[in-house]
């Protein structure tokens, strides 16, 4: 046998940073050999991934070395879409940007629309936009999952997503709704593995049985868009059987608060005392008292009359609503595509585990009213949900229904249930209200985004016209807490509500897979007015790679790869906290860029200084932050509170609060790229009501004063908007929106048919059409990745096996015409049995435009891959009333991607690919013909 | 022809949990990135950015749909790499002695210096677990990360194959099947680990832990009352009992 060295050197050095192949933010150990990245593995000490790493993370080498990397600032030379550019210097780039932007700031800041994609530096980019003074700023949440975020915040002060997690250690039953690969990708896999090892059960609710649903103990193949109805039927069953946690409801929710039930302007509002405090009935005396009165047992069963009005505890309105026979399993079964017996059995199983398998932790704690509890009672049923339920026009109320189910079971923030991660929980009232007050030459009057509590918080001018280009926080989408990025290009092109001058985008492929109606969006981006100028005059874009969007911009600011940059994954933004700990992290340049590129945030520091933006210049007008790293260390949002919470103070000994520490980044690097501080044991559960948690949150700087609150089973803010739609109050919606708002802004969640479905002849378009991202490409840019694209470089439309047979598809004879009310594409199909019988689906964002991503124009992604985006419109089919009705959730404006209806038919022989595009020029050339990565750093290159 | 050892001291291999594997491909890529930079020639890729990208992988995940006798159709993710067979036909078929099975731990390896790339071993392997590297012209296969598992330059807890270390769902387990008390032997016994294609007589060391039987709850809840009024009466009683 050959003499084998089983102990060869692994690498020359390990540098620890944070992954950025998706939004998971895992810790990574980057091995360097001879100065090159030679191996990337998970950081075992890191709180997010504890050593594991997914396929994306492990393929980071190929992302870092992608031939699609931009090399220098680019100025467009050909027409938009051609891909023809010249390389320019950063000075030239900044001069051009300043030439366009400085006059806007002086005269009309709203003519800049600045929207960012999947970066996680919103607390920084929003600061820049606020200083510029434009109201037109948001990140990509509007087309991502704002329904999930907003429903969670308004209902319970926190959402699924990465803002909370199942109690993976203790839960005995996990029910997941509409979860494909999504936030948090590695923690979910780790958690499922942990549950499997313990013998805990998983129920997957999803039209498609793939991924997590494939390993679920039970799969419920629901019909898309009906999750809310299914959930309300589960609630119906639980209520009817009395399987609800009354103690939890009375103590920790507004179930006991007295609601006016007389028809009229006061219907649905809480009875309040002179101090504005909502009232509850004291079960001992039958008298109303403020909700926060200590040592009172709230009554859920009584009612009272005062000044001619009747008041009932909110719980009674909830019970009346959901005990209605319309939510009985038999009544919803067919619509949901789930047997009534399955619905009944699922409710029974939830109740059995929640109440018969109750767990207790002997951890004494004190609640917000000062009452001491000797133990923590847990209901070991956890839920998780993502885009499958939220990307529908009924997604907000569906997500809210799911939270009500969790709350009725008493399984939020208890052992075994769903747990928040700091900075959540946080009541909606503790979030800012949105702002759009523009003063030329000055900053905006406050933060752009927030959580409206009443119609007066909307961003409308005196005529009721939306102040924002995306019409966020207007009557069309009152609670659009993340803005509506998917409406920006369409509205800017239409000049509705006004025209803009410069569209400035970061890391969002809006000319391709991140837009609905891609073909039409491309027309909008390239459309010219009568004088031959582009309708959207200027487009600035920052990306690290030669994406489709690059070709449609006039000026490109080239970003770095994730291994070449500084970033902070900040408590001010979307940190990496765990349910048991606060944590944040950094990226730092573990390798230096070999191109003339710059982290986008550093470029904004430069550009902000050139524009003289307050906060980006010193008093003498000089540049305040040399780069993003300088900002990360030295920016203070409030005194002592900065982007990074670890090693603060001049001595570096403080956590959360403290003066800027010039060696802070070095400290993070020494600690593996992250900071982690455990929540005290008595503060780890019951967080919204736990005095120890509230005190800890103040100490760490999450809030400045304790802010306990109750969960909102009855949402008074929603009722305030509904009330306006009924004609009450000062701020009134336009008449054409009244009926829709009255329906949508219901203070108790309810289910309604998705709008696209109502507007479509479902006999002609009988199938629901969905997408998901492959796990190995989720939230990443996989097509340019030499390793990942070998796993997936084409997609097929998976259709129910019966449909496959009906149309006579066969292998090699599998091209279909897929038609929606909005368009037609060609797609190759494949049969799938583990699929809802009314649903087709495909992998998203596999199809690429020829010439993009430094791929050969005849790459399979361009020739065989396809997007469903061409079939989805940002507007609903015209109703004949002459109005533009958005294909969005009416509460939040979230893009209703998954409301799509299609029909399929076999494509006649010889049908050409539809749509098809001429190849765009590649500003970065093409990749090499072969790769043998690792050859150059092997110790003996001959072996 | 190359001979197999009569006996190996250890039988190192993998227990792969098909009940837990979500098909995320993490093991596939982690394997590629470790092995392209370590043992032997790099795992090359041809036309990596073109019309027909194709490269060498030592581990691939396949997905199969099946219809059980009762219940809905299922999807199973099936990672596949060399199974380090006790009677490895890829070794006995090798004309140069390049393919061999180590006596100390049973790992099947290719000594690339002696491999002429004839491909006979790949033909002989019933599992399709070997791939001829298009650029290097040598046969590549899973080494169980032989350059990790004994490597003094790696922290002890990480002396496991790259695929095992990275697996997010903990669906891959590495150990010694010759030791009945090892983690993998216990998992194999507890979960009824199965050999892949036993009829081939290759006696694979790797084992697959089959998907657990799926089950759906049955039963239904009993109403506290039939009328809404009855519910309020129940509520009152229930609150009184708290």
Closest Cα in chain B, distance from residue A833 (Å): 6
pLDDT in tens, A112-144: 999 998 878 999 999 999 999 999 999 998 888
Mean pLDDT, chain A, rounded, equals 96
Q: Is the pLDDT of residue A942 over 50?
A: no
pLDDT in tens, A11-52: 999 999 999 998 889 999 999 999 999 999 999 999 999 999
Which chain A residue is nearest to residue B2, measuring alpha carbons? Answer: A1
Cβ of B231 within 8 Å of Cβ of A239? The answer is: yes
Average confidence (pLDDT) over B184-203: 97
Token pair in block for residue A149: 């975020």
Cβ partners under 8 Å of residue B72, min gap 6: A209, A219, A221, A834
Q: Tell me if A601 sits within 8 A of A631, measured CB to CB.
A: yes
Cβ of A927 within 8 Å of Cβ of B239? The answer is: no
Query: Could you tell me how many helices (H) and strands (E) chain A has, helices first?
Result: 27, 35
Cβ of A346 within 8 Å of Cβ of B217? The answer is: yes
Which chain B residue is nearest to residue A60, measuring alpha carbons? Answer: B33
Confidence bin at B199 (pLDDT 50/70/90): very high
Token pair in block for residue B232: 């309020």
Q: Tell me if A260 sits within 8 A of A714, measured CB to CB.
A: no
Q: Is the pLDDT of residue A683 over 50?
A: yes
Has residue B151 been placed in a domain? yes
Q: How far is CA B195 from the centre of its chain?
A: 12
Cβ partners under 8 Å of residue B135, min gap 6: A930, A932, B41, B42, B44, B46
Token pair in block for residue A476: 């069309």
Q: Is the pLDDT of residue A941 over 50?
A: no
Which chain A residue is nearest to residue B67, measuring alpha carbons? Answer: A833
Has residue B242 been placed in a domain? no
pLDDT in tens, A360-391: 999 999 999 999 999 999 999 999 999 999 99
Of B157, B169, B219, the CB nearest to A189: B169
Partner A contacted by B113 (CB < 8 A): yes
Cis peptide before A766 (omega within 30 of 0): no
Of B30, B46, B109, the CB nearest to A53: B30
Partner B contacted by A145 (CB < 8 A): no
ipTM of model: 0.97
Partner A contacted by B48 (CB < 8 A): yes
A854: chain B residues, CB-CB within 8 Å: 49
Cβ of B168 within 8 Å of Cβ of A791? The answer is: no
pLDDT in tens, B44-85: 999 999 999 999 999 999 999 999 998 999 999 999 999 999
Q: Is the pLDDT of residue A508 over 80?
A: yes
Confidence bin at A647 (pLDDT 50/70/90): very high
Cβ of B135 within 8 Å of Cβ of A932? The answer is: yes
CA–CA separation, A791 and B196 (whole Å) = 23
Cβ partners under 8 Å of residue A155, min gap 6: A400, A403, A404, A407, A711, A712, A713, A715
Partner A contacted by B3 (CB < 8 A): no
Partner B contacted by A52 (CB < 8 A): yes
- Predicted confidence at residue A162, as pLDDT, reads 77
Cβ of A10 within 8 Å of Cβ of B154? The answer is: yes
Residues 763-802 of A with CB under 8 A from B: 774-776, 784, 786-791, 793
CA–CA separation, A716 and A628 (whole Å) = 41
Of A787, A793, A943, the CB nearest to B32: A787
Confidence bin at A943 (pLDDT 50/70/90): very low
Of B19, B49, B211, the CB nearest to A67: B49
CATH number at residue B100: 3.30.70.20
pLDDT in tens, B138-181: 999 999 999 999 999 999 999 999 999 999 999 999 999 999 99
According to the CATH classification, is domain A755-906 in 3.30.2290.10?
no
Partner B contacted by A210 (CB < 8 A): yes
- Predicted confidence at residue B225, as pLDDT, reads 87
Name the DSSP class of A282: B
Which chain B residue is nearest to residue A59, measuring alpha carbons? Answer: B29
Q: Is the pLDDT of residue A562 over 90?
A: yes
Cis peptide before A94 (omega within 30 of 0): no
Share of chain B above pLDDT 70, in %: 99
Confidence bin at B228 (pLDDT 50/70/90): low
Q: Is the pLDDT of residue A940 over 60?
A: no
- Predicted confidence at residue B2, as pLDDT, reads 84
> Where in chain A are the domains?
160-423, 714-747, 755-906
For chain B, the first-to-last Cα distance in angstroms comes to: 80
- Predicted confidence at residue A779, as pLDDT, reads 81
Cβ of B20 within 8 Å of Cβ of A193? The answer is: yes
Q: Is the pLDDT of residue A891 over 50?
A: yes
Has residue B81 been placed in a domain? yes
B72: chain A residues, CB-CB within 8 Å: 209, 219, 221, 834
Q: Is the pLDDT of residue A286 over 80?
A: yes
pLDDT in tens, A531-560: 999 999 999 999 999 999 999 999 999 999
Cβ of B72 within 8 Å of Cβ of A860? The answer is: no
For chain B, what is the domain count?
Answer: 1
Burial readout A124-162 (b: 16 or more C-beta within 10 A, e: otherwise)? bbbbbbbbbbbbbbbbbbbbbbbbbbbbbbbbbbbbbbb
Q: Is the pLDDT of residue A345 over 50?
A: yes
Closest CA to A311 of A714, A727, A725, A712: A714
For chain A, the first-to-last Cα distance in angstroms comes to: 17
Closest CA to A149 of A163, A136, A138, A137: A163
pLDDT in tens, A827-845: 999 999 999 999 999 999 9
Partner A contacted by B103 (CB < 8 A): yes
Cβ of B50 within 8 Å of Cβ of A858? The answer is: yes
Confidence bin at B215 (pLDDT 50/70/90): confident
Of A1, A214, A935, the CB nearest to B77: A214
- Structural domain boundaries, residue B67: 12-209
pTM of the model: 0.97
Cβ of A319 within 8 Å of Cβ of B46? The answer is: no
Share of chain A above pLDDT 90, in %: 94
Has residue B182 been placed in a domain? yes
Instruction: Look at A241-245, A391-395, A573-577, A666-670 and tell me which has the smallest mean pLDDT.
Output: A573-577
Average confidence (pLDDT) over A274-287: 96
Q: Which CATH superfamily is domain A160-423 in?
A: Dimethylsulfoxide Reductase, domain 2 (3.40.228.10)
- Predicted confidence at residue B195, as pLDDT, reads 97
Which chain A residue is nearest to residue B151, measuring alpha carbons? Answer: A7
- Residue given tokens 């009328």 in the structure block: B227
Interface size, chain A vs chain B, as Cβ–Cβ contacts under 8 Å: 301
Closest Cα in chain B, distance from residue A369 (Å): 19
- Predicted confidence at residue B1, as pLDDT, reads 64
Cβ of A786 within 8 Å of Cβ of B53? The answer is: yes
Partner A contacted by B137 (CB < 8 A): no
Cβ of B20 within 8 Å of Cβ of A931? The answer is: no
- Predicted confidence at residue A192, as pLDDT, reads 97
Closest Cα in chain A, distance from residue B12 (Å): 15
Token pair in block for residue A866: 């396809």
Has residue B35 been placed in a domain? yes
């Amino acid at each position: 046998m050959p003499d084998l060295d089983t102990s060869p050197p692994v690498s020359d050095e390990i540098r620890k940073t944070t992954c950025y192949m998706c939004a998971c933010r895992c810790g990574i150990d980057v091995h360097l050999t001879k100065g090159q990245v030679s191996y990337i593995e998970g950081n075992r000490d890191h709180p997010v991934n504890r050593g594991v790493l997914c396929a994306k993370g492990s393929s980071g080498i190929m992302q870092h070395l992608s031939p699609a990397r931009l090399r220098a600032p680019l100025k467009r030379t050909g027409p938009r879409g051609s891909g023809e550019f010249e390389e320019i210097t950063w000075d030239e780039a900044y001069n051009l940007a300043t030439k366009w932007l400085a006059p806007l700031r002086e005269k009309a800041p709203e003519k800049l629309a600045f929207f960012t994609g999947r970066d996680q530096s919103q607390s920084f980019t929003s600061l820049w936009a606020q200083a510029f003074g434009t109201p037109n700023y948001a990140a990509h949440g509007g087309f991502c999952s704002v329904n999930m975020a907003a429903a969670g915040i308004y209902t319970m002060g926190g959402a699924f997503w990465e803002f909370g997690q199942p109690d993976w250690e203790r839960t005995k039953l996990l029910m997941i709704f509409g979860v494909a690969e999504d936030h948090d990708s590695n923690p979910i896999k780790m958690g499922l593995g942990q549950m499997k090892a313990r013998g805990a059960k998983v129920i997957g609710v999803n039209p498609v049985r793939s991924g997590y649903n494939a390993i679920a103990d039970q799969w419920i193949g629901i019909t898309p868009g009906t999750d809310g109805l299914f959930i309300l039927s589960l609630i119906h069953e639980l209520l009817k059987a009395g399987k609800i946690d009354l103690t939890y409801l009375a103590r920790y929710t507004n179930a006991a608060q007295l609601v006016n039930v007389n028809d009229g302007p006061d219907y649905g509002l809480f009875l309040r005392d002179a101090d504005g405090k909502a009232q509850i009935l004291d079960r001992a005396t039958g008298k109303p008292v403020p909700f926060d009165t200590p040592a009172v047992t709230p009554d859920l069963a009584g009612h009272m009359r005062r000044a001619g009005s009747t008041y009932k505890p909110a719980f009674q309105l909830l019970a009346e609503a959901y005990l209605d026979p319309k939510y009985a399993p038999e009544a919803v079964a067919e619509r949901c595509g789930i047997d009534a017996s399955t619905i009944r059995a699922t409710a029974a199983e939830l109740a059995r585990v929640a109440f018969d398998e109750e767990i207790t932790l002997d951890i004494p704690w004190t609640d917000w009213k000062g009452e001491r509890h000797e133990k923590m009672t847990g209901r070991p049923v956890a839920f998780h949900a993502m885009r499958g339920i939220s990307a529908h026009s009924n997604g907000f109320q569906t997500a809210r229904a799911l939270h009500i189910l969790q709350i009725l079971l008493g399984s939020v923030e208890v052992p075994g249930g769903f747990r928040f991660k700091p900075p959540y929980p946080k009541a909606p009232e503790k979030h800012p209200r949105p702002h759009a007050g523009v003063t030329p030459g000055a900053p905006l009057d406050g933060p752009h985004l927030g959580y409206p509590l009443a119609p007066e918080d909307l961003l409308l001018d005196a005529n009721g016209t939306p102040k924002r280009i995306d019409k966020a926080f207007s009557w069309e989408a009152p609670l659009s807490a993340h803005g509506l990025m998917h409406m920006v290009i369409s509205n800017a092109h239409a000049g509705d509500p006004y025209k803009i001058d410069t569209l400035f985008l970061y890391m969002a492929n809006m000319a391709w897979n991140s837009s609905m109606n891609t073909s039409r969006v491309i027309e909008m981006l390239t459309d010219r007015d009568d004088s031959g100028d582009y309708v959207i005059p200027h487009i600035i874009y920052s990306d690290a790679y030669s994406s489709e969007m690059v070709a449609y911009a006039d000026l490109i600011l080239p970003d770095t790869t994730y291994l070449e940059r500084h970033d902070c994954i900040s408590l001010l933004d979307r940190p990496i906290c765990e349910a048991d700990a606060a944590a944040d992290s950094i990226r730092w340049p573990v390798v230096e860029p070999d191109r003339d590129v710059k982290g986008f945030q550093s470029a904004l520091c430069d550009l902000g200084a050139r524009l003289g933006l307050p906060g980006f210049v010193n008093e003498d007008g000089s540049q305040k932050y040399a780069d993003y790293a300088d900002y990360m260390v030295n920016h203070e949002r409030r005194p002592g509170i900065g982007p990074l919470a670890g090693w603060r103070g001049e001595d570096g000994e403080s956590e959360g609060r403290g003066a800027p520490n010039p060696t802070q980044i070095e400290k993070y690097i020494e600690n593996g790229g992250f900071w982690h501080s455990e929540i005290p044991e008595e503060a780890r559960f019951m967080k919204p009501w736990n005095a120890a948690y509230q005190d800890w949150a103040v100490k760490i700087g999450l809030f400045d004063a304790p802010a306990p609150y109750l969960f909102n089973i009855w949402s008074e803010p929603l009722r305030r908007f509904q009330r306006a739609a009924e004609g009450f109050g000062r701020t009134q919606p336009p008449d054409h929106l009244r009926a829709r708002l009255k329906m949508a802004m219901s203070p108790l969640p309810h289910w309604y048919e998705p709008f696209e479905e109502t507007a479509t002849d479902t006999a002609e378009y009988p199938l629901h059409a969905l997408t998901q991202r492959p796990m190995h490409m989720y939230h990443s840019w996989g097509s340019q990745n030499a390793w990942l694209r070998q796993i997936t470089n084409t997609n097929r439309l998976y259709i129910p096996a019966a449909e496959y047979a009906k149309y006579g598809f066969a292998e090699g004879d599998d091209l279909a015409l897929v038609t929606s009310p909005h368009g037609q594409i060609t797609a190759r199909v494949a049969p799938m049995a583990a699929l809802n019988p009314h649903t087709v689906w495909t992998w998203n964002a596999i199809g690429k435009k020829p010439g993009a991503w430094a791929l050969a124009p005849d790459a399979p992604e361009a020739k065989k891959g396809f997007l469903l985006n061409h079939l989805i419109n940002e507007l609903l089919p015209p109703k004949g009333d002459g109005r533009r009705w958005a294909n969005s959730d009416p509460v939040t404006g979230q893009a209703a991607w998954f409301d799509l209806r299609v029909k399929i038919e076999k494509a006649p022989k010889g049908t050409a690919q539809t749509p098809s595009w001429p190849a765009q020029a590649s500003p970065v050339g093409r990749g090499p013909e072969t790769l043998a990565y690792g050859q150059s750093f092997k110790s003996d290159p001959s072996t | 022809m190359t001979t197999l050892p009569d006996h190996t001291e250890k039988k190192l291999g993998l227990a792969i949990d098909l009940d837990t594997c979500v098909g995320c491909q993490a093991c596939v890529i982690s394997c590629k990135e470790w092995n392209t930079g370590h043992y032997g020639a790099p795992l090359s890729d041809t036309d990596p950015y073109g019309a027909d990208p194709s490269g060498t992988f030592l581990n691939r995940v396949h997905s199969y749909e099946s219809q059980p006798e009762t219940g809905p159709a299922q999807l199973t993710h099936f990672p596949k790499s060399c199974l380090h067979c006790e009677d490895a036909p890829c070794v006995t078929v090798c004309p140069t002695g390049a393919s061999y099975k180590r006596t100390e731990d049973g790992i099947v390896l290719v000594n690339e210096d002696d491999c002429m790339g004839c491909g006979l071993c790949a033909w002989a392997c019933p599992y399709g677990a070997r791939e001829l590297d298009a650029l290097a012209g040598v046969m590549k296969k899973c080494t169980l990360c032989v350059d990790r598992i004994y490597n003094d330059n790696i922290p002890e807890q990480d002396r496991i194959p790259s695929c095992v270390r990275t697996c997010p769902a903990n669906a891959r387990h590495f150990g010694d099947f010759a030791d009945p008390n090892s983690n993998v032997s216990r998992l194999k016994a507890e979960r009824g680990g199965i050999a892949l294609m036993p009829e081939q007589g290759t006696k694979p060391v790797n084992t697959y832990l089959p998907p657990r039987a799926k089950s759906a709850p049955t039963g239904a809840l009993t109403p506290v009352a039939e009328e809404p009024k009855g519910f309020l009466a129940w509520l009152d009683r229930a609150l009184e009992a708290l």
